[in-house]
Structure 1
Amino acid sequence: MEHTSFEAGNKKILTKIWQFFYRDKVFLISFFIALNAMVFGQAHFTTKFFDWKVIATVFGLMLVIGGFRESGLLRYIGETMVSKSKTTRQLVRFTTNLTFFLAVFFTNDLTILTMLPLYLYITKHVENRKSVYLGAAFIVPACHMGSTLLPFGNPHNLYVYNFFHMSTNNLEFFKGTIPMWLMGLLVLNLACFLIDRDPIHVDTKPKDFNIVEVMVFVALMVLMATSVFTKVAIGGINFYWFAAGITALIVFLYKRELFKTADYHLILTFMCFFIIVGNLVDIDQITTFVSHIGSSSQGAFLGTVLISQVISNISSAVLMSPFTSHGMAVLLGADVGGVGMLTASMATLIAYKVIAIQARGELAGFARYFAYCMVAFLIILSVLGLIVVSVI
């Protein structure tokens, strides 16, 4: 009896471990690549390529962003804006632009998880389904282009910003992100003209949000943003550890359930790719090939875009960065590269999963226009990105 119970307990533990690995395919792939890199590299665990500032900051931002989601602020803003729509085109334009500007501060994943379900719910009775399908697809590039602007707009921006020691004081960072951000906004608004102007009535009333929670997490967001831009050390300890620690402590005391919502797979994926890069530098054939791709800003940009389609934009940014001096090209390549295949970014995959769950009966229609739009936006934004990296 005890032996049977012991076996059942072990089986349960092994099942949980497998589920943890299998739940996030990007993490699973990066984990196996890291193992292989260690086999073919020097199998060392040096922290030379580990960016602890990114890991600490991403964790702190996850808790803060989770707090904004729980407060209901983003949904309130979304419902307030779309409730003013009178036509399908106006609704899609409101949704697309709101998604774009929310992504500046709240990252791709949270913005998609807020705006896409709301959009699908509001448009479920709209008769012109083609326009609805297109509008849903626009949300994905809106997220990626909106989050381009700031260093903490998404994890790979933060990584590249820190890896290449970019500065916001002399506009080194913004001279690349602002043009791309503005052109992305222009392309999205031009795309909205593809939507028909059918009259609609949006039947939704904005729900209240928790003002106290919003104030708490605004303060924590300011703290985490400050840690991104500062290089101050307190008692020999970098400020970003203090910022992440204070954020974690306040969240633990005030709303500890947010720890369950943090994306630990993302942090582990970063660590896996730090290990991968640390071991790949010992393989001459690979370093020579990747360095050749990244020898020019155009090559670094296109290389990052294309690699993103296979292993995601976060992973491609980590992989390309040590082998090129063109940091802005890598950053913009990762931003643009998030648009395209489902594997191109977690945000794109989340969007598809939301549609599959919330609009299961129309998945074929959504998937078809989703594919059309991703290819079109990827090509257009890649061309614009090449222009930007060639000029700056």
Structure 2
Amino acid sequence: MKLVRYLFSRLSEDLLLLTLLLGLVILLLWMPEQLPQLPTLVEWHTIAILTGLMVLSRGLEDSGALTRAGHWLLEHMHTERQLALAMVVFAALLSAIVTNDVALFIVVPLTLSLGRALTLPTGRLIIFEALAVNAGSAVSPIGNPQNLYLWQLSGDSFVTFFILMLPIAGWMLMVVLLLTTLSFSSRKITVNTDLAKAPLSQSLLLISLLGYPLFLIWVELGQMAWALVAVLGLFLLFWRNVLLGVDWLILLIFVLMFVVLGLLAQLPVMAGLTQTLMALPGEELTAGVLLSQVISNVPAAIFLSAFSEDWYRLAWGVNVGGFGLAIGSMANLIALRLGKQPGLWWQFHLWSLPTLLFSLLGAYLFLPWLG
């Protein structure tokens, strides 16, 4: 009975999860023949990667290292604006190297640790970190799933893709930094507790840090199953409390996202909508931005690639489309889910929608760069 009450409480607090469940029921009533195909709509590879990264990031947080890192930041950043800009730049740079999702699994827990010790608008900072990883990852072929997919389709070199994405990524980051500067004050940081006294588990820190590159290398080598088994087995044997602290419900949310968005993409109206979007000014760029607001940017990239081979206009569109509505990017959903701040979803759109508008304006201005 306690478990039932707990699950009901969690479900009732999670608007996104309830929305996805309702959407799934409606779509299955509309197309019941798709029921046996539901497992094929899920990108299980992505779910497995997400699982491993969630465990490793929780291990990093529980090691106490993020609290120590927060103490170091406090010694060098003296105002809210300085701290916010440092975190935003760090998130953006990290996302270009280890992907936007991984960057958030590192940066958001650090932010939460800082929030427990400071008088700090933590929720707002998490919002800008989400925006930052969308901007920073846009420049790299491996920065996010949509770039990786379109880069492989293009057949171009890493450097070529980087150069052609640099103008829009640079503009997106500039917009985020400008809004960060405007939204955080120059008020001195007030410390409520002593971060230096936080215990540090060196063994857990070492395993968690080494786990990131080793896990991703195994994934790149096509050994996803063994990589996930190794991570889960290691923590199950030696740090079981880390596994208990992971927010496993987020995996259900992403499974439902793949299913619901996959079903939406199969509707005949979506093909007609795509043709209409492609006829708008900006063509693939505009289509990528608008469709991302409906089915998220990774599915939008996959869906639109069947209608056009202008890979870079598509890449610009779906990366800019990561701004705007929260569903525009899975990174947004991860940040908001990890943040667990009251009212964070509504606050996110107050900043993300203007970021989308300014970024889209710059995309149109820089579009001649693509030829």
Normalising to structure 1: TM-score of the pair? Answer: 0.69
The residue type paired with residue 187 of structure 1 is V
Matched, 1:215 2:206: yes
Match of 2:20 among 30, 37, 41: 30
Equivalent AA in structure 2 for residue 78 of structure 1: G
Decide whether aligned partners of structure 1 residues 192 and 284 sit closer, same or farther in structure 2, where only a CA change above 3 A counts. Answer: closer
Are 2:268 and 1:284 aligned?
yes
Give the fraction of aligned pairs with identical amino acids, expressed as a percent: 17
Counterpart in 2 of 1:257? Answer: 241
CA contact (8 A) 1:273 1:319 kept: no
1:186 counterpart residue number: 174
Quote the offset at 1:298 in angstroms. Answer: 0.9
Q: Is the 8 A contact 1:152 1:225 kept in 2?
A: no
Provide, for residues 237-279 of structure 1, a one-character-per-residue CA deviation record: whole Å limited to 9, x for no partner.
Answer: x511111111111111121223233343333233334433554
Aligned counterpart, 2:132: 142
**3-state SS, counterpart of residue 213 of structure 1:** helix
Q: Which runs of 5+ in 1 are unaligned?
A: 1-8, 231-237, 358-365
Paired letter, 2:17: F
Q: Which has the larger radius of gyration?
A: 1
Residue 306 (1) aligns with residue 298 (2): no
CA separation of 1:268 and 1:70: change in aligned 2, threshold 3 A:
same
SS in 1 for 2:239: helix
CA distance in 2 between counterparts of 1:271 and 1:133 reads 26
**1:1-392 → structure 2 map (5 Å cutoff):** 9=1, 14-41=4-31, 42-46=33-37, 47-87=39-79, 89-101=81-93, 105=98, 106-108=102-104, 110-115=106-111, 118=114, 121-123=117-119, 138-146=128-136, 148=138, 157-158=144-145, 161=148, 170-171=157-158, 174=162, 179-191=167-179, 194=182, 200=188, 203=191, 206=196, 207=198, 209-230=200-221, 238-280=222-264, 283-290=267-274, 292-293=276-277, 296-307=283-294, 313=296, 317-318=298-299, 321-325=302-306, 336-341=320-325, 345-347=332-334, 349-350=336-337, 353-354=340-341, 372-385=350-363, 391=369
Distance 1:73 1:177 in 2: 34
Letter in 1 for 2:107: T
How many residues are paired up? 350
Superposed displacement of residue 219, structure 1: 2.3
- For residues 212 and 123 of structure 2, what CA distance do their matches in structure 1 show? 34
Cα distance in 2, alignment partners of residues 260 and 151 from structure 1: 34
| RMSD across aligned positions (CA) | 4.2
**CA shift in 2, pair 1:303/1:373, >3 Å:** closer
Looking at structure 2, the residues matched to 264 and 390 of structure 1 have their Cα atoms a distance apart, in angstroms, of: 45
Structure 2 gaps of 5+ residues are: none
CA gap 1:267/1:13 in 2 versus in 1, 3 angstroms = closer
Shift of 1:224: 2.0
Tell me if structure 1 keeps the 8 A contact 2:91–2:104. Answer: no
| Map of 1:5 onto structure 2 | none
Deviation (angstroms), 1:147:
5.0
Equivalents in 2 of 1:327, 1:209: separation in Å? 46
8 Å Cα contact 1:140/1:351 also seen in 2: no
Aligned residue for 1:77, secondary structure, equals helix
Q: Is the Cα–Cα contact under 8 Å of residues 66 and 262 in structure 1 kept in the other structure?
A: yes
How big is each residue's C-alpha offset from its partner over 1:158-184, in whole Å with a ceiling of 9 and x where there is no partner? 477469856999327655665554444
Work out whether residues 305 and 337 of structure 1, in 8 Å CA contact, stay in contact via their aligned partners in 2. yes
2: CA distance, partners of 1:98 / 1:89: 14
Aligned to 2:77, what secondary structure does the other structure show? Answer: coil
- Sort the Cα spacing of 1:386 and 1:49 in 2 relative to 1 into closer, same or farther, 3 A: farther
CA shift digits 1:336-392 (9 cap, x unpaired): 4454456663256458753669xxxxxxxx95xx76533332222333455677755
The verdict on how the C-alpha distance between 1:166 and 1:380 changes in structure 2, with shifts beyond 3 A counting, is: same
What is the TM-score of this pair, normalised by structure 2?
Answer: 0.73
Do the aligned residues in 1 keep the contact of 2:67 with 2:195 (CA within 8 Å)? no
